[in-house]
Chain A
Amino acid sequence: MAAIYSLYIINKSGGLIFYKDYGSAGRMDTNDSLRVASLWHSMHAISQQLSPTVGCSGIELLEADTFDLHCFQSLTGTKFFVVCEPGTQHMEGLLKVIYELYTDYVLKNPFYEMEMPIRCELFDINLAQAIQKDRVALLGR
């Protein structure tokens, strides 16, 4: 079972800086993933403007028939979102963990250039561990 289909990280101007898919469902080629990323960025911005509530920070969860999309935006405007099976729980927590990994292994890496695609070995390793842990926890529930 693959609860999580894919993970995206987009920078504050809507460029895709990290994409990873898990499992076979919803697999996309590079162009499609870039398109999804910039689409989501715009939709997120528009939702902020259109929202009837004051101080809205954008869409956090999009529920569709075949997938759920959970989004987390950091203070600096970097967005993390996962596409997962409908009704998957505890995705907010996972996104926070991924954000933490990003601040540790990407932002504290002197060889990473801001707003550029993420190519950090340690980030990949620790991300894989976090996702794995999440899956194990999911099986246990």
Chain B
Amino acid sequence: MIGVGSGKMKQYSNILHKPLSKGKQEVSLSAFAILFSELLQYNQTQGSGLMLVSLMEVISEAGGCWLSCWRSGSRTSLSSGQGCCFIFGLVGGSVIDIPFLLWMLQGNRREIKLLGILSFVHSTVWKVLFGKVADSLEKGTEHEDEYMISEKELLVNRFISIPKDMGTFNCGAFVAGIVRGVLDSAGFPAVVTAHFVPMEGQQRPRTTILIKFAEELMYRPYLRWFLDYSELYGFPYIHRSEAAATESSASAPREAFIPAHHSAVMAPHARAFEVVAL
């Protein structure tokens, strides 16, 4: 362990073991804006004629990638003080984990409910990334599984004017990628996209990050109920092969029951989809 304020620098045999200095937790906005702009230009020119939609996907992927770079670099102060570990998530495969997103950004708490993870993204993650809480978090009116995080002026969009011929292109896709990475790592797979939404009385539209959760998440609370129920009646263990069956039958009593264990706290690193092994 590293002593705090001992006044003597500890000697490290390997430079990789040396923790990065805590320093300022901010980077220059100009530097970031230029880097981001170059990233986009590179993807535009190098990507063998990328279509607009796929360019948006690419920068969304880059968002996830950036998330893992950011973890391995400057944010060591959040870790246990053992220096940085260079772990890069598999971006395309949407496996980012990154020691469980720094053990949920050092809140040491695993969110198991949708609203919990959403407010975690909306406040904690946003604060770490942009130094402020997101402007609003809303639930979609048409679909139960859709949520929106809106920002009047998203940091990545601050200097960017989209040409008229590019239509609905939104560089917020980068942030959407980050959000997707966080949600995936926390065991809440979702499709995350960025959109411009015009505002009344405002010259500029605001950016909305639309989160559409995977269908199975809607049934998760009921799945837990089913497992506890089956335990009670003498089926303490459900085979993996039956997992699929569990899910489909768990969806049946959907309207009838309010899950009793809705607030049950799971073991921190038990991933939600490994619940069959409990």
Chain A positions near chain B (C-beta within 8 angstroms): 104-105, 107-111, 119-123, 125
Contacts and interface: CB of A to CB of B under 8 A. Distances in A.
A109 B160 contact: yes
A107 B30 CA distance: 10
Interface stretch (B6-14, B37-45, B78-86, B193-201): B37-45
Interface string B147-180: 0000000000001111100100001000000000
A105 B30 CA distance: 11
Given A109-B159, A111-B162, A125 B41 contact: no
9 contacts: A104-B159, A108-B160, A110-B37, A111-B160, A111-B162, A111-B163, A111-B166, A122-B159, A122-B160
Contacts of A121: 161-162
Contacts of A104: 30, 33, 159
B21 interface: no
A109 B41 CA distance: 9
A107 B41 CA distance: 12
Nearest to A121: B161
Contacts of B33: 104, 108
A109 B37 contact: yes
Contacts, number: 40
Given A108-B34, A110-B160, 19 more contacts: A105-B159, A105-B161, A107-B34, A108-B159, A108-B160, A109-B37, A109-B160, A110-B40, A110-B41, A110-B44, A110-B171, A111-B160, A111-B161, A111-B163, A111-B166, A120-B161, A121-B162, A122-B159, A122-B160
B46 interface: no
B203 interface: yes
Contact of A108 (B30, B162, B163): B30
Task: Point out which of A107, A110, A121, A122 has the most chain B C-beta atoms below 10 A from its C-beta.
Answer: A110
A105 B37 CA distance: 11
A122 B34 CA distance: 16
Nearest to A104: B159
A105 B162 CA distance: 11
Interface string B30-62: 100110111111001000000000000000000
Contacts of A107: 34, 37
Contacts of A108: 30, 33-34, 37, 159-160
A97 to B, nearest CB: 16
A121 B163 CA distance: 8
A111 B160 CA distance: 8
A107 to B, nearest CB: 8
Contacts of A125: 203
Nearest to B42: A110
Nearest to A123: B161
A105 B159 CA distance: 5
B141 to A, nearest CB: 30
Listed from nearest, the 7 A-B pairs whose CB atoms lie closest are A110-B40, A108-B159, A121-B161, A120-B161, A110-B37, A108-B33, A122-B161
Contacts of B166: 111
Contacts of B163: 111, 119
A104 B28 CA distance: 13
B30 A109 contact: no
B37, B44, B203 interface centre (most CB from chain A within 10 Å):
B37
Contacts of B36: 110
A105 B39 CA distance: 16
A118 to B, nearest CB: 10
Nearest to A124: B161
A117 to B, nearest CB: 12
Contacts of A109: 37, 159-161
Nearest to B34: A108
Contacts of B162: 111, 121
